[in-house]
Amino acid sequence: MKSFISLCICLLTVLFMQAQIINPKETAKRKVEDRTNTRSDQGIDKGLDKVEEGIKGIFKKKDKKKKKTQETEAGEEANEENEAPSAENAKGSSPQSAPGFQSYSKFDFIPGEKILASDDFSKDAVGDFPLQWNTSSGGEVVQISGFAGNWFKFPQNGVCFPEYINELPENFTMEFDMTINQETMSNNQSGLKVFFNQLIQNRTSFDHMFDPKAKVAFDVHPSGVEGGGDLYVWVTDQSEQQLLETHQEIKGNWRSDQPNHISIWRQGTRIRFYLNEKKIFDLPRAFQTGIKYGFLFATNLWGDGLYISNIKIAASTPNNRGELIEKGRFSTTGILFDVNADRIKPSSFPVLKEIADVLRSNPSIQVRIVGHTDSDGDAAANQSLSERRAAAVKSSLSKEFGIDAARMQTAGKGEAEPVAPNDNTQGKAQNRRVEFIRL
């Protein structure tokens, strides 16, 4: 009898031990996923080391003074503790934290001039999936306390993309604002993946884990309240050969208390990636010649708490500065201003520097700077705003770059001379421009 009982106990012990063993197939699958996301074992171990500390922190009282990302429920007004952003603070940043021109002195991103797509989700209802987008999983438009406008919240796992654009030209720029929910993002979760993939028509079928076609892919992976994280990049060719896989830390460049601006610039085979004013990657041989590329966004592995807004995609020309000399005029959408104001955003530094270099290299040239707006608001107010913005550009070129003010005249056209329809965000973005005319 004792032998029988002992045998039963042994069998139960073996079964219990087997129940504790991780399924090897699932382990292998997870490892592949981890490698695809270029998660290093060291990073995982580091995250696991903090689990105990994190669990303890769950029950601590939150510091109400600490800014955090929080969605506003559909139909619910913003929290009264968060004042509505002013025109000079439309992105939720404070004057103390807003970077100035000096911090952008090494920023060389030049946005494209022909707007191909622009989307701020302002025409989409909060709580709905964007009308002109598609997805393999889900997502919704939300509002975030303290941040202006509507934001798209990505699903935890899946691909998402705008249907109004797929194929991209060989020379383009892409920009968007990004933020995270600091309380739900950690180092062990997925970031936001931006795929520039070999062109396919059915993007909902794209396998962002094992797609074999040529691609250039980025994974923007901030890690919550720590203000750190990593940016991963990998490149494969049409024969499924991986040409590159690497990453860089973004600690010190990611801003946890305000939207972060992502800028991507392709010129032929070359691609550059910027986070705010910092260039993170400059890859001269990323894209394959003779291949058409599209794009999409993707998340996986519990990528909860990822948001984007203010997307802009534009075609660029190899040499913008030559237009002023050769054609006698140059128009740019790359000089940006605060909402309804004439204060120039620091990210406009590269465009202003490019124009200053042209004027400095051609000292006999005189120009007229003309401001233009879209049709939103009162026509008289837009006229005044366009004049003030032109004057602000002249002042910046003179004070910041040393161009003789006597060489520059200013004028404003308000909304009177649109170059695109004002009935959509893309057209409005194209109409908000500054023009330089050679005299």
Task: Provide the residue ranges of all domains of the chain, joining segments of one domain with +.
Answer: 71-75+85-315, 322-438
* Phi, then psi, of 286 in degrees rounded to 5: -90, -50
CATH H-level, domain 322-438: superfamily: OmpA-like domain (3.30.1330.60)
Name the pLDDT band for 327 (thresholds 50, 70, 90). Answer: confident
71-75+85-315 is classed CATH 2.60.120.560? yes
Per-residue confidence band for 96, with pLDDT thresholds at 50, 70 and 90? very low
Tell me which of 197 and 100 has the higher pLDDT: 197
Q: What is the pLDDT of residue 225?
A: 59
Q: Tell me how far apart the alpha carbons of residues 247 and 260 are, in angstroms, rounded to a whole number.
A: 19
The pLDDT score that the predictor gives to residue 303 is 58
Helical (H) or strand (E) element with 397:
helix 379-399
**Percent of the chain that is helix, strand, coil (3-state, to 5):** 25, 30, 45
pLDDT of residue 434: 96
Closest CA to 208 of 223, 224, 191: 191
Q: CA 11 to CA 5: how far, in whole Å?
A: 10
11-20, 139-148, 249-258, 332-341: least confidently modelled range: 11-20
The pLDDT, as a whole number, for residue 23 is 38
**Residue 419's pLDDT band (cuts 50, 70, 90):** very high
Q: What is the mean pLDDT of the chain?
A: 79
Cβ neighbour number for residue 435 with a 10 Å cutoff: 19
Average pLDDT value for residue range 66-70: 44
| pLDDT average, residue stretch 410-431 | 93
Helix (H, G, I), strand (E, B) or coil at 92: coil
Answer yes or no: are the C-beta atoms of 294 and 166 closer than 8 Å. yes
121 pLDDT above the threshold of 90: yes
Beta bridge partners of 312: 118, 175
Q: What is the pLDDT of residue 53?
A: 44
Q: What does the pLDDT average to over 371-386?
A: 95
Q: Answer whether 316's CB lies under 8 Å from 423's CB.
A: no
- Name the residue among 233, 239, 217 with its Cα closest to residue 294: 217
The per-residue pLDDT for 326 is 85
Give the model's pLDDT for residue 74: 39
Of 340 and 5, the one with more pLDDT: 340
